[in-house]
A and B are shown apart, each in its own frame.
Chain A
Amino acid sequence: MTAKVTQTAFVSRFGAAIFIIGKILRFAFFLMFLLILGSKTHRVADYSIFQIIFVFATFNIVDTTSQFFLREVYRFRYYVVSGEFDYFLTKPLSPLIRSLFGGSDILDLPILLLSVVFIVYSASQIGNISSPFVFLYIALLINALAIALAMHILVLGIGVMTTEIDHTIMIYRDITQMGRLPVDIYREPLSWILTFIIPVGIMITIPAKSFFGILSPQLVVLSLFISAIFLIASIRFWHFALKNYTSVSS
């Protein structure tokens, strides 16, 4: 189906409510799928089924939280095409900040809550949790959000240069969707690409692995290092894009 990009603006709150129901259904169905897998297999590529569910829940937390804060990015194309972006550039507030934040939608919260519930649930099923790993996990989640931020800045930069933003965002979403499952189930070189080029693995699999206690300290440092690089590079790219910006003339 050559579907149009899903609109994030609805005619009424009623439509928005139906949209949330849809998201919850999607979450529930995929979870059910994982549970069915669990009922028939006990391990999937070295992970127990509850570890897989934990990864899925981690994905949802990272995905929903980043969407919650960065919703405004989805309106970006409209701003560029309509010329409103020009106002961003002339106002004292940093256009980057303006383009990233402010669009938070309370509708994102239900899924977030669900994810937290499942993190706790699957964690309890895995057992053997020790607090240093929990802290490491949370720290790496924050690291993941930093990467998400970098990715969104990159998308904005592309949007400034080409106005082709809708698909860029959706491709970002599609690739991060691959993080619903631990990236090591993918064969090389895909697994490597997903860890270092488009760092989905660092965003989701690595925090999860730290929680399981199977992450080497070198990888922890590497993850932090990579997210720092991405963040700096994306901001540089943003400034570069702005320099080459040609305003839309109607």
Chain B
Amino acid sequence: MKKYILIIKNVWSEMTTYRLNFALWRLRVNLQLLTMYFLWLAIIPTSGQFGSYNQSLMLTYILGGALLSTVIISSRSYGVGDHITQGDLSNYLIRPINYFAFWFAQDLGDKAMNISFAIFELTALFLILKPPFFIQTDPTFLILAAICAFVAVFLYFFLNFLIGLVGFWSPEVWAPRFIFIILITFFAGGLFPLDILPAPLYEIFKYLPFTYLIYFPLKVYLGQLYLQQILQGIATAAIWVLILYLIVKFVWNRGLKLYTAYGR
């Protein structure tokens, strides 16, 4: 157990040596946030409405989405693909360490660093932009939203890991990842709340795992769902986590057989 804590600590230390790199990354994240923030500010005037969102709710959604992205989507496990194609995986196979836990610990380290910066940045943005932020006061919603976010972390981990496993079958790991990133950008709800989609499309999205990464936890936070809907959503997300876990395990075993058959 302590080894994973050490890994988290090492990732943190590593990131502090990449200072400039990381700072530029945070700059980029914030530029993207600002674009969407101002867009919505322009679309929804102070007393206006867009679907079920007034200005305050929408801006809360966008800012909350940015924070949630840092918590849920920050990760390093995209490195799995390179580990496989470059043969570094062998180094881990001969050590008594759980490969999944190893990456999860790295992700936690990455998230920790990103979250600390995000909190600082968002505070600064709040002070500068003074957004009409909606603060949820009902503890039930807060707790449920936290639960959703918790489930989302695992959901994303398995999705991300799965894409990396492509490396067992193809040297091309970045192209599939590029498509994955684009899908996440649009389908997870970070750019806009998914319920503004036309109804038939939205119905489909309710069954997709991406929806539960950012859109769903935010919706719960905003208090716009009935308890029954929330529980249904959590259940769907949990089922997806289970399904993905099984798929990842299966693909991993098949891939490992291939990897150890070739020997790289």
List chain A positions with a Cβ less than 8 A from chain B.
1-4, 6-7, 10-12, 14-16, 18-19, 21-22, 25-26, 29-30, 33, 36-37, 39-41, 44-45, 164, 167, 170-171, 174-175, 177-178, 180-181, 185-187, 190
Contacts and interface: CB of A to CB of B under 8 A. Distances in A.
Contact of B24 (A21, A167, A190): A167
B147 to A, nearest CB: 23
B125 interface: no
Interface in B161-183: 171-172, 174-176, 178-179, 181-183
Contacts of A167: 20-21, 24-25, 28
Given A18-B172, A44-B43, A29 B196 contact: no
Interface stretch (B68-76, B135-143, B253-261): B68-76
B150 interface: no
Contact of A18 (B32, B51, B78, B175): B175
Contacts of B20: 164, 167
Contacts of B102: none
Nearest to B196: A36
Interface string B65-85: 000000001111010000000
Rank and list the top 4 A-B pairs by shortest CB-CB distance, nearest first. A185-B42, A15-B172, A18-B175, A45-B42
B28 A170 contact: yes
Interface stretch (B33-41, B86-94, B222-230, B236-244): B33-41
Of B35, B41, B175, most buried by chain A (CB within 10 Å of CB) is B175
Interface residues of B, number: 43
Given A22-B182, A29-B186, A186-B38, A37 B43 contact: yes
Nearest to B192: A33
Contacts of A39: 198
B31 interface: yes
B6 interface: no
A14 B174 CA distance: 12
Contacts of B192: 33
B100 interface: no
Contacts of A33: 186, 191-192
If over half of B's interface residues share one DSSP class (helix, strand or loop), that class is named, otherwise mixed; here it is: helix
A7 B174 contact: yes
B175 A19 contact: yes
Nearest to A168: B24
B4 interface: no
A185 B15 CA distance: 35
B175 A22 contact: yes
14 contacts: A2-B25, A3-B78, A6-B174, A6-B178, A12-B171, A18-B179, A22-B175, A22-B179, A26-B185, A41-B43, A45-B42, A167-B28, A185-B39, A187-B41
A18 B178 contact: yes
Given A15-B174, A16-B175, A185 B32 contact: no
A247 to B, nearest CB: 22
Given A175-B31, A177-B32, A186-B38, A22 B43 contact: no
Given A18-B176, A29-B182, A33-B191, A1 B50 contact: no
A19 B75 CA distance: 22
Contacts of A22: 175, 178-179, 182
B31 A2 contact: no
Given A10-B172, A178-B34, 19 more contacts: A2-B74, A2-B75, A2-B76, A2-B114, A3-B181, A4-B78, A10-B175, A12-B172, A18-B176, A18-B178, A18-B179, A22-B175, A33-B192, A167-B28, A171-B27, A177-B35, A181-B35, A186-B34, A187-B38
B197 interface: yes
Given A1-B73, A174-B32, A190 B38 contact: yes
Nearest to A18: B175
A39 B51 CA distance: 11
Contact of B110 (A2, A7, A25, A44): A2
B252 interface: no
Nearest to B184: A1
Contacts of B34: 178, 186, 190
Interface in B18-64: 20-22, 24-25, 27-28, 31-32, 34-35, 38-39, 41-43, 50-51
Contacts of A16: 175
A177 to B, nearest CB: 7
Contacts of B31: 171, 174-175, 177-178
B182 A14 contact: no
